[in-house]
Amino acid sequence: MNQISCPAILVSAPASGQGKTLSTAALARAWKNRGLNVHAFKCGPDFLDPMVLETATGQPVYNLDLGMCGEQDGLVRLYQAAQTADVIIVEGVMGLYDGTPSSADIAMRYSLPVMLTIDASGMAQTFGALASGLLGYQPALIPAGVLANKVGSTGHADMLKDSLPVHLSWLGALPQDEAYALPERHLGLFRAQEITDLDARIEAAATALADSSALPLPPKVTFTALNMATSPMPSKLLAGKTIAIARDAAFCFIYPANIDCLQEMGATVKFFSPLHDKTLPEADAYWLPGGYPELHLKEISENAGMRDALLAAFNADKPILAECGGMMALSESINGEPVYGLLAGKSHIEQRLQGLGTQHTELLEDIGNIGAHTFHYGKFDTPLLPKCQANSRYGVGENIYQQGSITATFLHFYFSSNPTLAARLFSYAKP
């Protein structure tokens, strides 16, 4: 058994929309500006918030999720981060107690002190009561303090600070200022690369936060990893294989842990842009992750070179994994506009959410479940029969389709939850 200690904190809130991502990014950047090595994590299977936190810290941001990733995966990643970090900061998901498992569950499992971010606009002394109630609701939580967001003035901040009970620390305030706002669309925040002044926004928020508080480091947390967990290297199941991954504005939902897992299994990883490249890199398998193909239909439909290259790879029986937006892009059309046309069926973006939550699927009977997540407004109408279906806590989950060498689904797989099965996703034996 190995142990290491490092200051660490989990940032949560009473609900979504309180400013967790901005607060986490500002606090991380403020600590980074003091010369500290800051490692950030994100609770849950989110892709977009980690992009903002990566901008704030300059380092890859990994996910902590007891359902999709597994408890042991979190133990390993926190332990590894603590080897080099001066401080670890974890952004929660939704409200503190929302979801199963919740941010509170993650905080308690890994003994992470909890800081609350509260939207204080239109609020005075109730601020202290709300913070006290949330952090005292579960006695096993370790309170780290409270940060006020959208504060109207210095006087307002003083009023909020004075409302806190003596056992809760004041960790600063962010003024109400549109200069800090992070734009959103139907799947959450805009991609970090789309917010052209994101770094300036984070820097301004960090400066404002540092002006309101000394921003002390959180308490140290001891992270423990069993001997078996500190060397999580899967077998070299992909040794000698090259996997080419689509990565651009339309295909961007990629867990950093998935890239690590492929490389740890021996794969060489290459990247390409279906929007801008006319050819595919030479590879043994291809992966089209999710993203926003519906926002780039003109570029997709006009890139005949990429369409022909994908068709050639398919005709050559090269394994192709298509997740969510990747699956929609391989279908015949999205919202009536032609796309790559490799998969039988048509895709649409609906007004209402079509799928949400953690799911697990076997895919193959002999090697267990793989964790995955789904969150989409897309719909795929197809004559294809599912190869299998995932399971969720609510019953039957998403379909997984197989058409020739293509494996397609609305699911986003988390490879490290079952590396052996993940390796199989990039192999295909023609019947």
In tens, the pLDDT along 329-367 reads 999 999 999 999 999 999 999 999 898 899 999 887 678
Structure confidence at residue 225 as a pLDDT band (50, 70, 90) = confident
**Residue 235 and residue 429: Cα distance in Å, rounded?**
21
Q: What average pLDDT does this structure show over 224-236?
A: 61
Q: Is 367 exposed, middle or buried (0-12, 13-18, 19+ CB in 10 A)?
A: middle
CATH topology for 242-424 is Rossmann fold (3.40.50)
Judge whether residue 231 has pLDDT over 50.
Answer: no
Q: Residue range 413-427: average pLDDT?
A: 94
Q: Start-end ranges of CATH 3.40.50.880 in the chain?
A: 242-424
Per DSSP, the three-state class of 310 is helix
CB 319 within 8 Å of CB 291:
no
Which residue in the list 6, 69, 324, 388 is annotated as catalytic?
324
Share of the chain above pLDDT 90, in %: 83
Q: Which CATH number, 3.20.20.150, 3.40.50.300, 3.10.290.10, 3.30.420.40, labels domain 2-225?
A: 3.40.50.300
d(CA 147, CA 254) in angstroms, rounded, equals: 31
pLDDT > 50? residue 316: yes
| pLDDT score recorded for residue 287 | 98
Residue 320 banded pLDDT, cuts 50, 70, 90: very high
- For residue 393, what pLDDT is reported? 84
Confirm whether 69 is a catalytic residue: no
pLDDT confidence tier of residue 36, bands split at 50, 70 and 90: very high
Within the chain, which residue ranges are assigned CATH 3.40.50.300?
2-225
Average pLDDT over residues 183-204: 73
Q: Is the pLDDT of residue 373 over 70?
A: yes
Non-local CB neighbours of 194 within 8 Å, separated by 6+ positions = 249
pLDDT at 248: 96
